[in-house]
Amino acid sequence: MPPSLFSTMFLFLLSLVDLSMQQKHTTTDPNSLSLSFTLTSVRLSKNTTSKMFDNSLIGNNRRVSPYNYKLSFKYSMALIVNLPIGTPPQVQPMVLDTGSQLSWIQCHKKAPAPPTASFDPSLSSTFSILPCTHPVCKPRIPDFTLPTSCDQNRLCHYSYFYADGTYAEGNLVREKFTFSPSLFTPPLILGCATQSTDPRGILGMNRGRLSFASQSKITKFSYCVPTRDTRPGLIPTGSFYLGNNPNSNRFRYIDMVTFPQTQRMPNLDPLAYTVALQGIRIGLTKLNISPAVFRADAGGSGQTLLDSGSEFTYLVGQAYDKVRAEVVRAVGTRIKNDYVYAGVADMCFDGNALEIGRLIGNMVFEFQKGVEIVIPNERLLARVQPGVHCLGIANSDKLGAASNIIGNIHQQNLWLEFDLINRRLGLAAADCSRLPK
């Protein structure tokens, strides 16, 4: 599997069920609710009392999360957070994915030798499998697009497919996230994968009713992605907050674009964190791209979303072609001809990445209210193989998708807060590698 196509690479979902080329997901009301591949340890910091945490996660319907809870994650090509699941807890590596709904873990008994860091259901006293008669096992559209079926034991079986051809399947189950004897979630609906193409799980954090955020009634969460370090053995650590973030007084907010529950478009992901991208600058040049290219049209094409589970940023053809033309103008013959990384990215180079970056200049994504995401020229290129670097932008048309997706490569050194109640996104520049752990 190409490393740039993990989570919604494990990226954005293929339209599950019959939504051809609609990237994953379902519809829900955010007012009802309160991503490579490195195994790591995670540090859990309790900033409030156990009682406050319990009240927020266990059945509390209050509109404001009455707790702060901080975790850490490791960042290489995905955001990997280790979470304690079950009773007693078994630590599971999961990709923090704002682009998908269903959380799932690897499920295998410990003997014979299981895949890396898998969860053994027989060792947990709080584990249960959903029967076929459970309401969630009856797919509803557009509320729930996860294809399910009954297995030979009359248990609920699911299959989850991703845009890059990876998949996970197994049973839908209920299980707790158990941080300590007094800190735990209620039993949440998860996927318990017995077959998959990747050894890690997914922490689904989109706006869907079965996401971790929704089931746990979290009203906001935030994370800060550190800069990459490609030196062997050095994996940067980022910060992940459930609830309030003590840095939020520096955030600037933009509105999320939401869609009615009943609105169905073949290319729309109604549960994504959608934003109104206004334009793109490269160096001193404002690209001649109509803002309409970054908005969902009548069929849903053109939606712009933020996805922690996608490594690269993806642009629809109209925008990608304008970016590529400006890059070629800046670098001339230095671009690597007849080279396409992972079938989707063809702005690649041999030689010194910093020198190429300086020729191109800084890149800026422009949003409403003057809010910007600035990508310094020294972080424009991503190493994809020894001696080869590519601009971290790919053509979503070649992926068979119709969306603009801002991936985690362009979320480095940036606080992102997802305020579910107020339907807004907070952003602030930060040195994410140097935050207090």
* Interatomic CA distance for residues 136 and 171, integer angstroms: 12
Please say which residue of 214, 249, 284 terminates a domain.
249
The lowest-confidence range among 133-142, 346-355, 425-434 is: 133-142
Residues in the chain: 437
Query: 197 in a domain, yes or no?
Result: yes
> pLDDT tens for residues 93-107?
999 999 999 999 999
Query: 271 in a domain, yes or no?
Result: yes
Q: Is the predicted pLDDT of residue 317 greater than 90, yes or no? A: yes
205 and 169 in one domain?
A: yes
* 134-155 mean pLDDT: 72
Instruction: Check residue 27 and give its pLDDT.
Output: 33
Q: Is the predicted pLDDT of residue 342 greater than 70, yes or no? A: yes
Q: Is the predicted pLDDT of residue 45 greater than 60, yes or no? A: no
Indicate the pLDDT class of residue 75, thresholds 50, 70 and 90: confident
pTM above 0.75, yes or no: yes
- As for how many domains the chain has, the answer is 2
Please say which residue of 249, 271, 303 terminates a domain.
249
* 367-390 mean pLDDT: 93
* 326-342 mean pLDDT: 92
> pLDDT tens for residues 257-290?
998 766 778 888 989 999 999 999 999 999 999 9
Instruction: Check residue 285 and give its pLDDT.
Output: 96
240 and 94 in one domain?
A: yes
Q: What residues act catalytically?
A: 97, 307
105 and 27 in one domain?
A: yes
314 and 179 in one domain?
A: no
Query: 437 in a domain, yes or no?
Result: no
Query: 436 in a domain, yes or no?
Result: no
283 and 225 in one domain?
A: no
42 and 183 in one domain?
A: yes
Assess contact for 82 and 179: CB atoms under 8 A: no
Instruction: Check residue 286 and give its pLDDT.
Output: 97
More confident residue, 340 or 182: 340
141 and 61 in one domain?
A: yes
* Interatomic CA distance for residues 365 and 371, integer angstroms: 9
The CATH number assigned to the domain holding 196 equals 2.40.70.10
Instruction: Check residue 17 and give its pLDDT.
Output: 27
Instruction: Check residue 62 and give its pLDDT.
Output: 40
Query: 97 in a domain, yes or no?
Result: yes
273 and 245 in one domain?
A: no
Please say which residue of 204, 234, 249 terminates a domain.
249
407 and 269 in one domain?
A: yes
**Token pair listed for 166:** 């990876």
The lowest-confidence range among 9-13, 95-99, 234-238 is: 9-13
190 and 299 in one domain?
A: no
Residue span of the structural domain in which 410 resides: 251-429
Q: Is the predicted pLDDT of residue 178 greater than 70, yes or no? A: yes
Instruction: Check residue 166 and give its pLDDT.
Output: 74
Instruction: Check residue 145 and give its pLDDT.
Output: 59
| CA angle, 137 then 188 then 215, to 5° | 95
400 and 387 in one domain?
A: yes
106 and 117 in one domain?
A: yes
Q: Is the predicted pLDDT of residue 65 greater than 60, yes or no? A: no
